Amino acid sequence: MVRVTGASFDSRPRRTAKSLMRDPRYDILFEPVRIGPVTARNRFYQVPHCCGMGYRYPSSSAAMRGVKAEGGWAVVCTEEAEIHPSAEVAPFVENRIWDAQDLPHLKALTEAVHAHGSLAGIELVHNGQHAANHYSREVPLGPSHRVIDNGAPLQARAMDGTDIANLRRWHRKAALRAKEAGFDIVYVYAGHDMSLLQHFLSRRHNDRADEYGGSLENRVRLIREILIDTKEAVGDRCAVAFRFAVDELLGADGITAEGEGHDVVALLAELPDLWDVNVSTWMNDSQTARFAEEGYQERYIKFVKSLTTKPVVGVGRYTSPDAMVRVVKQGIMDMIGAARPSIADPFLPRKIEEGRIDDIRECIGCNICVTGDDVSSPIRCTQNPTMGEEWRRGWHPETIPAAKQRERVLIVGGGPAGLEAARACGQRGLEVVLAEAGETWGGRALTESRLPGLSSWGRVKDWRLGQLHKLANVEMFLASALTADDILSYGIPHVALATGATWRRDGIGLTRHRPLAGVAGAAVFTPDDFLGDAGGLDRLPAGPIVVYDDEGYVMGGVLAELIAKRGHDVTLVTPAALVSAWTARALDQPFIHRRLVECGVTLQLNCLLAGYASDRLDLACVYSGAPSQRDCAALVLVTARLPNEQVCLDLMARKAEWIDAGIRSVTAIGDCRAPATIAAAVFAGHRYARDFGETLDPDVVPFKREAIVAE
Ligand code: ADP
Ligand code: SF4
């Protein structure tokens, strides 16, 4: 093994009490902000965000929000809370405040937030024509007769005067319940095209002829009434926030920051106690780093403060304290709103306050967090493996109990799984040796970060390396491709194999279960040929290139983009009905499709790869089997991966030698165990460290479950 540095790890500068001081440049971020009748202790504001836990996993939800408060967010909000059974979006798991039955778990949430001196906010919502009401079977409601926009053959019916009176009463009662539950900030919500109030505001959704339709003053009437209702109901003790999408990015078809977005702010300027402004839809609001840079919403929201004296909150995936100071000083916003940066690092404010800028675990803008909500499961995060696990596994993002014994651990592989396992084992006080075959750290977190638009993915590596370099009990070795012989010779008792995975070259993937004939010896490439220094781009022949994506996540689309940008004629073929289909769950699928079109990539959807012979592909329609052919100078197979498990298998085969070699456990983690996302690899590395030294019974559920109480 080659040492990373000749210096003793103990000789590195350690943090001193003096260095744990806030940089005065950031003082402005810690000024209190008055919001109506309440005061936030600083400018860090966790805006409402989904977490896939809500009403179904309330203890998990409360604990997660409590950790954000502990981490220094002065305001911590819930996700949207449906005010009535006619507002529900099952199967998505949001929050509910339908009646008193919801209060105990909401009280638990506010108490968890208050315990750390933060304010708790709740985003009341009626989802209007976005609510299919699959669970309640109520008739959906909207300003006009419209098809539900939530993938169901249902329609919302145009609300009459009684419906409007009902809505106002439901909202008012929900606000009173929110106050009873202890919330300090109660939202009125007109954003993301998911809110009935935004539907009323919208010219394309609202074709009413009464006092709620037509002119902007009429279309804004319901919002005004509900803001007034809410202030009258709870304004003595609670601030009333208005969440408003100032621009729908639809040009003349929608609200724009220069047009009606501006005018709505002017009309309602002083009515709410706080403006929480963003762009619509959620897809535009939470753009991935591939398509939007930090601060990407500033250009839309910057006008708001010129029209109101009330505090303004905005978002833009801010992780840099300098950028935060800038937006406050430039008068763009008063409070730094964050969903994703607070997920990736619940302790971001505390770290700035304590002068620990290097310790901030920056969001990479991948939207894996969004995918949890989209599959109605608890939130997960690529950077923060403890996200969603605060209650059920008792994981804290900053601390891990010290290991019971200071044992030695060898971690093989320096990708996301290995780096996180080494970091977390090091944090527990274990003596860690981390060995990486390559000349650089990071594994796929490094190589994939070099693909177009994915540079922020390198933060997975950067943060972990930064932390590892502070740990005297972790030794790190590059250029150390270990074999079973090597590992047996070291006598390190615990071995974690985080050796990653290799893309398949045989065509087996999601839809193909047998090897594809004709690939041996043909011009077949896999993603591994384009990652790191593999040089595949330089080896591509002239002529049409086909990228066959039978995986459906990021890789197929991003490789097609990469190759097309090199000037090749590229066709992306996929059995799926969408390009990079799974990215729809991360909100960026439409952006990927558009990017490929802009790059000149030809798209062939719903198409199976049936055969490959001498520069010609045989394809078949997924549904009819109808054959077609396509010229192909080179085929790039993006299908599936196989674990790099040879070292693991070799060690398992030599189990009889373990005792003499001093080995007690060998564990495969991350892609070496089962290829998955980077988020899954980080989680696996973290879990290895957490489980270290524990006696685990595979028959026992490894986490607490929320109680389901029968009536
Ligand atoms: P994961 O996502 O599970 O962390 P990666 O593929 O990103 O997987 O990382 C695996 C890392 O393991 C790569 O950097 C690779 O170079 C390294 N590696 C693979 N085999 C060995 C080995 N035998 N010895 C040391 N490092 C290895
Ligand atoms: Fe950021 Fe990705 Fe974590 Fe979401 S999952 S908070 S986008 S790092």
Q: Which CATH architecture has domain 503-642?
A: 3-Layer(bba) Sandwich (3.50)
Does domain 408-500+645-691 bear CATH number 3.40.50.720?
A: yes
For 102, counting Cβ atoms within 10 Å of its Cβ (0-12 exposed, 13-18 middle, 19+ buried), the class is buried
pLDDT reading at 417 higher than 80: yes
Query: How many alpha carbons lie under 13 Å from residue 154 in its C-beta half-sphere?
Result: 20
Residues with Cβ < 8 Å from 492, sequence gap 6 or more? 408, 409, 410, 433, 662, 663
For residue 3, what pLDDT is reported?
53
For residue 499, what pLDDT is reported?
98
The pLDDT of 571-586, averaged and rounded, is 98
d(CA 241, CA 239): 6
Q: Tell whether the torsion through CA atoms of 392, 393, 396 and 401 is positive or negative.
A: positive
Instruction: Check: CB of residue 197 under 8 Å from CB of residue 190.
Output: yes
d(CA 64, CA 60): 6
pLDDT reading at 480 higher than 90: yes
Distance 443 CA to ligand 1 centre (A): 6
* Ligand 1 pocket list (CB less than 6 A): 412-418, 435-438, 443-444, 480-482, 498-501, 644, 647, 670-672, 681
Distance 373 CA to ligand 2 centre (A): 13
What's the mean per-residue pLDDT of the chain? 96
For residue 14, what pLDDT is reported?
42
**pTM: predicted TM-score of the whole model, two decimal places:** 0.96
For residue 4, what pLDDT is reported?
47
Distance 400 CA to ligand 1 centre (A): 25
d(CA 685, CA 670): 7
The pLDDT of 164-188, averaged and rounded, is 98
pLDDT reading at 118 higher than 70: yes
- Of the listed ligands, the closest to the CA of 413 is 1
Say yes or no: CB of residue 164 within 6 Å of ligand 2: no
Mutation probe of ligand 1 site: the residue of 499, 503, 648, 650 with most atoms within 8 A of C-beta: 499
Out of 102, 184, 276, 285, which one is annotated catalytic? 285
pLDDT band at 321, cuts 50/70/90? Answer: very high
For residue 331, what pLDDT is reported?
98
The pLDDT of 191-206, averaged and rounded, is 97
pLDDT reading at 665 higher than 70: yes
Rg over CA atoms, the chain: 27
Q: Estimate the share of the chain in helix, then strand, then coil, as percent rounded to the nearest 5.
A: 35, 20, 45
Residue 15 DSSP symbol: P
Catalytic: 192? yes
Mutation probe of ligand 2 site: the residue of 64, 362, 382 with most atoms within 8 A of C-beta: 382
Out of 45, 49, 50, 529, which one is annotated catalytic? 50
Residue ranges per domain, the chain?
17-374, 408-500+645-691, 503-642
pLDDT reading at 503 higher than 90: yes
Question: Would you tell me the crossing angle of helices 103-114 and 161-180 to the nearest 10 degrees?
Answer: 50
Say yes or no: CB of residue 316 within 6 Å of ligand 2: no
pLDDT reading at 614 higher than 80: no
Q: Tell whether the torsion through CA atoms of 133, 136, 142 and 145 is positive or negative.
A: positive
For the beta carbon of residue 182, count every other beta carbon within 10 angstroms: 19
Residues with Cβ < 8 Å from 591, sequence gap 6 or more? 283, 287, 288, 290, 291
Distance 342 CA to ligand 2 centre (A): 9
- Of the listed ligands, the closest to the CA of 442 is 1
Say yes or no: CB of residue 368 within 6 Å of ligand 2: yes
d(CA 316, CA 285): 8
Catalytic: 50? yes
In 3D, which of 563, 517, 559 has the Cα closest to residue 542?
563
- Measured by CA distance, the residue closest to atom 3 of ligand 2 is 381
| CA end-to-end distance (rounded Å), the chain | 62
Say yes or no: CB of residue 343 within 6 Å of ligand 2: yes
Residues with Cβ < 8 Å from 419, sequence gap 6 or more? 434, 441, 442, 443, 445, 460, 461, 464, 465, 468, 685
d(CA 179, CA 187): 11
Out of 57, 189, 318, 612, which one is annotated catalytic? 189
For residue 709, what pLDDT is reported?
73
Out of 105, 192, 199, 593, which one is annotated catalytic? 192
The pLDDT of 471-483, averaged and rounded, is 98
pLDDT reading at 521 higher than 80: no
pLDDT reading at 692 higher than 60: yes
Say yes or no: CB of residue 369 within 6 Å of ligand 2: yes
Say yes or no: CB of residue 387 within 6 Å of ligand 2: no
- Measured by CA distance, the residue closest to atom 5 of ligand 2 is 381
CA triple 550-556-562, angle to 5 deg: 160
pLDDT reading at 2 higher than 90: no
| Of 354-358, 521-525, 645-649, the least confident | 521-525
Residue 541 DSSP symbol: P
Q: Could you report the per-residue pLDDT of 356-410, keeping only the tens digit for each?
A: 999 999 999 999 999 999 999 999 999 999 999 999 999 999 999 999 999 999 9
Its CATH class, for the domain covering 17-374, is alpha beta
Distance 387 CA to ligand 2 centre (A): 10
Distance 356 CA to ligand 2 centre (A): 20
Q: Which long-range contacts (CB under 8 A, 24 or more apart) does 533-539 make?
A: 537/562, 537/563, 537/566
d(CA 149, CA 317): 27
For residue 215, what pLDDT is reported?
98
pLDDT reading at 147 higher than 80: yes
- Measured by CA distance, the residue closest to atom 2 of ligand 2 is 366
For residue 8, what pLDDT is reported?
32
Q: Which long-range contacts (CB under 8 A, 24 or more apart) does 527-531 make?
A: 527/503, 527/555, 527/559, 527/636, 527/638, 528/502, 528/503, 529/636, 530/451, 530/559, 530/562, 530/563, 530/636, 531/444, 531/447, 531/448, 531/450, 531/451
Instruction: Check: CB of residue 295 under 8 Å from CB of residue 322.
Output: no
For residue 518, what pLDDT is reported?
83
pLDDT band at 517, cuts 50/70/90? Answer: confident
pLDDT reading at 11 higher than 50: no
For residue 19, what pLDDT is reported?
56
pLDDT reading at 705 higher than 50: yes
